[in-house]
Amino acid sequence: ATGLVKEARERLALGKGDKAFPKRDTLLEIVSKARNKERDVDQVVAAEYIHLLPYAEDLSRIAGEYAALKKAHALLDYDDLLFELERLLVAEPQVLAQVTARWRHVMVDEYQDTSLVQEEIIRRVSREDSLFMVGDVKQSIYRFRQAAPEVFLARKDRLVEGTESGPSRLIALNRNFRSAEPIVDTVNYLFSRLMSRELGEIDYDTVERLNYGGLLPGEEHPVQMVLLDKEESWETEDGQPDPGYV
């Protein structure tokens, strides 16, 4: 994909000799983000790449040429695989019927890293009584692959409020069996002060709070937290971890 977007830029003779012009990885990232968010390229640039606003029109042209080259060479990138599957399920009811009849249950792990198109595919291939999802928005790490944690949060909010349709319910997996109680208490102390809907996308409330599972010995062990100054090196001169920071 990066090679093809580079070819699209070269065909349009854009950015040659301009060191500020976005590199091919950035070009592909912007094109993918626009596709997955179902927005125009210039809208994505204005919202998330303001420093590239002078190139917004050029980036839109590259996105169009990239799509044309894929079609000319009969190629699909990762995004196309998802969107073409969605198109197939919508355009061919018999295919959708075969898929939904084949699977009794649809289980989705890491639901917090679902993209909009993936959510649409999940919705179409499952039924209200056949879908099981597991997720934790605190573990969302795939925004670079266009994950949309707001999909997870919206469904979770509906379940908490009781407005989700069908026989759906929320099961809070907040009982921790792997950590000693002081660790659980420390995590709760920090997260309750650091996480909110505005910062971290959730309120660290009683639903999110960890509960000690009680399987480990209950002795009191002090918890030590080390804060590293990002301006200060934590390595020794030979590149090894400084024992003072371990």
Could you report the per-residue pLDDT of 32-64, keeping only the tens digit for each?
999 998 899 999 999 999 999 999 999 999 999
User: Amino acid identity of 173?
Assistant: L
Q: What share of the chain has pLDDT > 70, as a percent?
A: 90
pTM (predicted TM-score): 0.76
In a 3-state reduction of DSSP, which class is residue 132? strand
- Asked if residue 246 has pLDDT above 60, the reply is no
Q: How do residues 109-118 score in pLDDT, each as one tens digit?
A: 998 898 999 9
Q: What is the mean pLDDT of residues 216-229?
A: 72
Report the candidate in 9, 12, 11 with the shortest Cα–Cα distance to residue 23: 9
The pairing of beta strand 175-176 with beta strand 131-133: unpaired
Q: How do residues 89-103 score in pLDDT, each as one tens digit?
A: 999 999 999 999 888
The rounded distance, in Å, linking the Cα atoms of 164 and 193 is 30
pLDDT of residue 217: 64
In a 3-state reduction of DSSP, which class is residue 116? helix
Q: What is the mean pLDDT of residues 214-241?
A: 67
- Of residues 145 and 219, more confidence is placed in 145
- Asked if residue 221 has pLDDT above 80, the reply is no
Q: What is the mean pLDDT of residues 138-154?
A: 80
